[in-house]
Every structure is written in C-alpha cells, then in structure tokens.
Structure 1
Amino acid sequence: MFVPSSGKDKQFFYCQIFKVIHQIRNCYVEVSRDAYDDRTLAEMMLLDACFALYGMKIFVGDEQIVLHFRQHFGMAAFSLVSRDMRLLDNQIPLWVINLFIELICGEGSMLLYEYLSLMYFGDRMRLTRIPEDEKQPLHLVDASRRILVHEIDHAGKEHDPPGESQRQPQRKENLNGFRKYNHQSHSVTDLKAKGIHFKPSSNCLKNINFKSHAFYGQLQLPVWIFTAFSKLFFIHMLAYEASPGSDTNLSDSDFSVTCYVNFLKSLIVKSEDVKELREKKILFSTPTVMNKLWK
C-alpha cells in the first residue's frame, strides 16, 4: 500500500536501506549474516517500518487506513496492534521509522509526534519533538519513556517538573543515615484518614509533590489512563530501564518509571484506593482517544 502511494518502486526503498544496512546491524547484538543477509534484513526493516506507519496512521485517524484495517482485521484487533508496537522485543531503530516516514509521508511529516501525542496526552498537537537528553531515542519504547518522565506543557515545551530544579542533592553521610530507617508505606485510604488530600499534577511520571499545611497535607500525583495492556506496557518499560543495553541511553541509576510503579504499588492496596484516585481524576480507565476511534 505505502510503496505505490509514495510514487516510488520497492527497489528504491531497498536501495535506501542498503545505504544504512551497516548502521542497522550495529543496533542489534550478533546479527549473523548467515541468518540474515542484507536482502533479508532490508526486507524485514521495510515490512516492520511500514507496519509501524500503518499502526500510527490508524491511531491518528487516517480514514483510508482505518477503513482498510476494519475490512481486513476488524477494529477489535487494533488494541493488539497498539500493544505489540510498544513491546520491547518488537522494536526496530526509531531513526529507521523516521526515515520511512520521510520517504513515504514526505519530509517534515508530524506523524510520529501526532501518534505519540495522542497516545500519551490525548492531544495530537502536544508534541513537536521528543526529549533527546544527550542521545537520540533508540526506539519507540525509549521515546515513550522520555515523554513520560519529562514535563511537557500544552505548548509542547519541555521543562522540569515543579520543584525539580530546586531539589538539593543529598549529602553522602545523610544517605548512609537514611538507610538505617525502616520506612512504612501507607495506602491512599490510610493517608486520607490522616488528613492527606490527593490532587492531579500532570502527565509526567516524575511530577510527584507533597505540600504540608497547618491541618492537612496535599499529595499531587501524575495522571495516567489505565487499559487492559497497561500492566504489560509497564513490565516492558521496567525491563528497558533494567536492561544492560539501556545504560548507554539512560543516565546512571535513572529508574524513574520503576520508582513511579513502586510508589503507586505502595499507595494502592485495595479497591477503595483506586476509587479515591479515580474520583480525584488521577487515574482513568476509559481512554477517550480509543473511544473516538472505535466509533
């Protein structure tokens, strides 16, 4: 579908892949030329990159692609496509996807940013770029993680979460003393009973703040939409943070998503905890973007 619509033949796309085939091999560990010669690897990249574009176009609501998907797969299958695109073991280099977006959709296409914006913010115009830190994102999982741990405002600009830049590094001797204490975690309902109120902060998973007042406290938590595949998504995100190969792209001991999941796990013990966070519009279970797509 995509190759003819671009006005170019398949051989043109193979030639573009052959130009960077060595860089593609370098993204993987021990890619044997006996198992995957250049032609086989190029065909895999072409098919997988086109399918990634296909999934993105469905999510942003491209009418022609959505109609094609309905006819051949049925919309019930789209949640599986969306899930599989974000599994760690299904990733291809993000720069390969960007290359095909330019070749097929034209230079300057915002498809990737629209897809990620809708996926994580429900607003297709929220992102104009992906936070890069010191290196470019490796793949969609890496790009997703960067979006989740960086504060991005409604103008698409990136900045530190409130209070982040003012935090002072803890002294080493204080850290040693800190380890002596056994900190007991409390659930949402326990904290509420002690006068702690809950309030949504933003979409950034690091944006967790506590404010103490004379007679009560306020805990601000990130907003998150949970679906049937959220658990699987977080498992793969945690696996990426813990994987040896990610230390070239993540700063030392950067386990932001892991810390968020552990903290949320300590807050949620029973159904009443979930109910409270839903009432405070911190946790959601009905993705509005998907509802519009299904209609």
Structure 2
Amino acid sequence: MSSTEEGGGTVGAPGRAVSTDQTIINNNPLETIIPIQCTNFLLSNGELENLRSLDEAFNGNQLEPTAKPLIQRVPSTLGRHKDFRKYFKPKVISIGPLHHDDPTLHGSEKLKLKLAAHFVKNIGVNKETLYNNMKTEINDLKKCYDPKELEKYSNDDEKLAWMFFVDGCAILQAIYMRYGNDDVDDQDNDHMSNELSIKNDLLTYVYLDLFLLENQLPFRVLKLLTSWSENGEKFMKAIKRFIDDNVITPAEMKEPQSHQQDRFCSSERWQQQEEEPIHLLNLLRRRLLSRKEEKRKPWRHCRFCTRLFRYLINRSNQTRTRRHHSHTFRNVKELKNAGIWLKASETSCLTDISFNRIFFVGKLWLPPITVDDSTGPKFMNLIAHEMCPDFDNDFTVTSYICFLDSLIDEAEDVKDLRDAGILYNGLGSDEEVAKLFNKMNTDLVPSPTIYNGVKRQIHNHCKNMWINYAAQAYHTHFRSPWTFLAFVGAIAALLLSALQTYYTIHQPK
C-alpha cells in the first residue's frame, strides 16, 4: 500500500482511521513508515530514533550520589579562553593518560623513571610486588577516568598499569624530597635534590603540574603504593605537608610552633574523617574549605546605645527594602568610605568570611591569601574541577574568586588588602594582582547562596543613610591626623569665640 491514498490524502492525516497492523513503505526505499498504536499518525524509523534519544538523555544524565567524579578534560567553557589555556597544560611532567602522548613532555619520562626508582628504594618493597598490586587493581582504576580518554588503552592494560605505577611512584618521591621530614632543614632537602640531580626550580614546576585537572592520578594509586610498607606513612604525611604548604600564608607561618602543630593535627584528623579524596587537586580543595569552628569575640558596647542604634538601622532598612531587592556590592575603596574596616580571618578557609557592625563602623573579615605565580593555575583548575558535570558541589572556590574580584577593581584596592594583612603579594605590582583576579572572573557563575548573608549585611550597611552621614563625616574630619587637628582647632575656635561673645555681653559695668 502506498503512502498516499486515492484522492491525494496523506495516510494518517487527521480524521482518517489508520490500521495498526500494517507497515507502510515511504517513497524513500531506505525508510519505513510505522503506524503508532492508539494514535492516528505515522512516524518513520528516523523520527522514532530521535524520540528515543530523549529517553536516553533523561536516563543517562542523572548523577549517582555515591559515584566519584571522573578524571576528565577541562570544561570547554574555560578551555576556550586563550588566557586560560596555559593554566591547564603541564609545563614539565605528564601524569596519567590525558597528556601522556604529548610530544613536548616526552622528556619527562626519564625524570619520572629516576624518581620512581628512588621511591622503590625508599619504600622498602620490591618493585615486582608494587607493580603487581597496580596490575591487580587496574579495572577499578580505569573506572576513575572518562571512558573516552582510555579508548586507546582498551586492549592494553599492561601499558596503563605501568603508567600508573611509574607516575604514582614519581609523585610520591617528588613530594617526599621537599616535605618528607619535619626535622630536616633546607640544606638536607637540597642535598636530597642534588643526589637526584634535580634542580630546585624544576622541582617547583613539577609541583605546579600536580594541581592541574587534566594531570591527575587517582588517589587510590598513591594508597596502593604506600599501604604495603611501614615507610608508606611518611610519604602520606609528606603529602599532607605539601597540601598545607600550598594553603597557609606567611602570617600563619609566624605562629608559635604549638599553634602550627595544632593546625596540622586538626588537618590530619579532618582528612581521616573524610572519605578518600579523588586526587591531589580534590585534596587541595578540601583543605581550602576545612574550617575550625571558633567563635569570634563580640565587641563590647553599651546595651542601651546598641538597642537604639539597631532600632534606627532597622527602621531605615525597612523603608529601603521595597526599593532594593538585589545585594549590590562594592570594591574595597567604596567599602572604606562607607565605614567598613578590613580584617584578616584566623584561618585560610575560603568560607571564613564574616561581617559584623558596631554603631557606624563595620568589620569585614576575609581569609588571608598569598598571590604568586601559582595562584592563577591552582584556582583556575579548582574552578574547572567544580565545573565538571559529574561533580556535585556548592561552587565555593568559584564563588570566592567572584567575591574577591568584586572587592578588587584597581591597584589601590590590592594595597588596602595588603595593609590589612589579608593579601600577600608575591606576584609583583598591585596592578598585576588586580588584573589577575579580574581576568579569572571571566564567565564565572557564583553560587547564589555562598556568602549571601555577608553580602546582605554589607548591602544594608552601605545603604543606610545614618551610616553614610557618619562615614562621610569621619573621612572628612578624621581621615588623617592633620584633618583631625584642623577639626579640633575649628571646634576650639568656635568655643573661644562663644566665650568671648558671652563675656562681652555680660561684662560688668
């Protein structure tokens, strides 16, 4: 039966009955028209295939809550930016399969073999046993990667197991060379580096490459290599020190030894409580978000004055709530003009941001941060990690960079953050730091809930007319000692003039 009945009507057109037990051949000999049961229309095989793709997409894109994110490429949203590409590509060493065949990194194979050989010597387990453990777990390790990245190794588990073995040993030995012992000093570390003929600058570039999203190795590999010997514990402790060294600031380094030990122990307990990290970059993110709960001491002030002040503030805010629905944000310069002081938080945790206020003065607490050549690559790869479609997270690092970018518009804002002990500039000029954060914020979408409370408090503080008047008066008359002295002199002159007028009028006759 043809697809067109007599009279020119199309089979399956509205108003016509269609038999469901017949197949209709279209003019195209390669396509079959199939009637749909309980309906009065027909669909081709191609159309049915298109509709099935919707069901596959619906069932295939659901994330399993217990599944770990896969090691994969940087999302295209970030990778297509020319300024960001250099942040995602290894400079010295390739780790894992994603950049293994990069011809510009083939020279790193000898370096990795040298590091791996010294690790086998230091761990105290024969190399055959270590490699066999890796080969035994190869099927589970392959599940840690995006399947399309391992297509070339689908029939070559031996090559993949050897890659994991060498790369894992190289990572552990490279980190141990600088962070292996609490008691060794810099000279001993240099001696260990010279023993392997590895220069310090090359080792520093290796450390930077270990935090690239596309250069990650499953943390399970490091566990397999260190769990078969008592010496493995010192390698895992070296990793913890390595992560801490990439987080703590110069201010924290100046703390008493007991405080540093407490911070390290709390970090160690935190890592033991959490499940096994995905990779080193994921471990760095956990460390940046770990926070020791401490209550900040409130300011002491008069209870009556506080109640009166809050009443005036709340009344003013109620009249403005109808007109302001979004929490607009300002840079550091404008916050200072609004009577907000900047203070360094007690920890480097990215969520340790808070705001409190007493009378007409507010305090914004921010975690201290060191900005150097590694800041851009580390934070951009952390952001790329958060943007991976299979990683369920709250985008804290992304929101932090957006928050910091809103504070920094120009070099003067960076200087104010430095003066407050919040930012340590190891990059160069303050202008370069401002450009870095403005560039990193390109096309980033922060979480609508992270820092929302702080933003709301700052917004209400800046929009209150009583606070604005007080802040303007403060910056006009008390911004510097000279303006303060001029203000005092003017008040004294007025008082003297008033006294002179009084005595002139009431002079005894």
When normalised by structure 2's length, the TM-score is: 0.47
Q: How far is 1:95 from its partner?
A: 2.1
CA distance change for structure 1 residues 255 and 112 in 2, over 3 Å: closer, same or farther? Answer: same
Matched, 1:246 2:405: no
Decide which of 364, 385, 396 is 1:219's aligned counterpart: 364
Q: How far is 1:278 from its partner?
A: 0.9
Task: Give the corresponding residue for 1:170.
Answer: none
Decide which of 93, 112, 124 is 2:218's aligned counterpart: 93
CA distance change for structure 1 residues 56 and 90 in 2, over 3 Å: closer, same or farther? Answer: same
Q: How far is 1:61 from its partner?
A: 5.8
Bigger drift between 128-137 and 196-205 goes to 128-137
Residue identity opposite 1:197 in structure 2: W
Task: Give the corresponding residue for 1:210.
Answer: 355
Task: Give the corresponding residue for 2:241.
Answer: 114
Residue identity opposite 1:54 in structure 2: Q
Contact 1:151 1:161 in 2 (8 A): no
Deviations 1:140-191 (A, max 9, x none): 1111111111204xxxxxx48879xxxxxxxxxxxxx99x834432111111
Task: Supply the distance in 2 between the matched residues of 1:132 and 1:264 (Cα, whole angstroms).
Answer: 31
Task: Give the corresponding residue for 1:258.
Answer: 398
CA distance change for structure 1 residues 25 and 162 in 2, over 3 Å: closer, same or farther? Answer: farther
Task: Give the corresponding residue for 2:120.
Answer: 3
Q: How far is 1:93 from its partner?
A: 0.8
SS at match of 1:128: helix
Bigger drift between 255-264 and 13-22 goes to 13-22
Contact 1:130 1:146 in 2 (8 A): no
Q: How far is 1:129 from its partner?
A: 4.2
CA distance change for structure 1 residues 205 and 27 in 2, over 3 Å: closer, same or farther? Answer: same
Bigger drift between 142-151 and 34-43 goes to 34-43
Decide which of 153, 156, 165 is 1:37's aligned counterpart: 156
CA distance change for structure 1 residues 58 and 278 in 2, over 3 Å: closer, same or farther? Answer: farther
| Correspondence 1:141-156 to 2 at 5 A | 141-152=281-292
Task: Supply the distance in 1 between the matched residues of 2:212 and 2:273 (Cα, whole angstroms).
Answer: 22
Task: Supply the distance in 2 between the matched residues of 1:272 and 1:191 (Cα, whole angstroms).
Answer: 13
CA distance change for structure 1 residues 61 and 112 in 2, over 3 Å: closer, same or farther? Answer: closer
Decide which of 179, 185, 193 is 1:69's aligned counterpart: 193
What RMSD in Å do the two structures reach over aligned CA positions? 2.9
| Correspondence 1:265-284 to 2 at 5 A | 265-284=405-424
Task: Supply the distance in 2 between the matched residues of 1:84 and 1:162 (Cα, whole angstroms).
Answer: 38
Task: Supply the distance in 1 between the matched residues of 2:378 and 2:242 (Cα, whole angstroms).
Answer: 16
Unmatched tracts of structure 2, length 5 or more: 1-117, 182-186, 254-259, 298-320, 428-509
Task: Give the corresponding residue for 1:84.
Answer: 209
CA distance change for structure 1 residues 13 and 211 in 2, over 3 Å: closer, same or farther? Answer: same
Task: Supply the distance in 2 between the matched residues of 1:89 and 1:34 (Cα, whole angstroms).
Answer: 17
| Correspondence 1:47-196 to 2 at 5 A | 47-60=166-179, 66-70=190-194, 72-103=197-228, 106-109=231-234, 110-121=237-248, 126=264, 127-131=267-271, 135-152=275-292, 159=293, 181-196=325-340
Task: Give the corresponding residue for 1:237.
Answer: 382
SS at match of 1:32: helix
Contact 1:240 1:246 in 2 (8 A): yes
Contact 1:196 1:218 in 2 (8 A): yes
Task: Give the corresponding residue for 2:307.
Answer: none
Task: Supply the distance in 2 between the matched residues of 1:82 and 1:107 (Cα, whole angstroms).
Answer: 20
Deviations 1:36-78 (A, max 9, x none): 6222111111111112112311331666664353463321223
Task: Give the corresponding residue for 2:184.
Answer: none
SS at match of 2:128: helix
Task: Supply the distance in 1 between the matched residues of 2:211 and 2:415 (Cα, whole angstroms).
Answer: 28
CA distance change for structure 1 residues 264 and 105 in 2, over 3 Å: closer, same or farther? Answer: farther
Matched, 1:25 2:142: yes
Task: Supply the distance in 2 between the matched residues of 1:36 and 1:80 (Cα, whole angstroms).
Answer: 33
Task: Supply the distance in 1 between the matched residues of 2:139 and 2:220 (Cα, whole angstroms).
Answer: 14
Q: How far is 1:15 from its partner?
A: 0.9
SS at match of 1:138: coil
Contact 1:161 1:204 in 2 (8 A): no
Higher Cα radius of gyration: 2
Bigger drift between 52-61 and 65-74 goes to 65-74
CA distance change for structure 1 residues 66 and 90 in 2, over 3 Å: closer, same or farther? Answer: farther
Bigger drift between 133-142 and 191-200 goes to 133-142
CA distance change for structure 1 residues 65 and 42 in 2, over 3 Å: closer, same or farther? Answer: farther
Contact 1:162 1:207 in 2 (8 A): no
Q: How far is 1:101 from its partner?
A: 3.0
SS at match of 2:124: coil
When normalised by structure 1's length, the TM-score is: 0.78
Q: How far is 1:233 from its partner?
A: 0.9
Structure showing greater relative contact order (alpha-carbon pairs closer than 8 Å, 6 or more residues apart): 1
Deviations 1:54-111 (A, max 9, x none): 2311331666664353463321223211110111111111121123233466254322
Q: How many residues align?
A: 262
Bigger drift between 21-30 and 181-190 goes to 181-190
CA distance change for structure 1 residues 228 and 107 in 2, over 3 Å: closer, same or farther? Answer: closer
SS at match of 1:217: strand
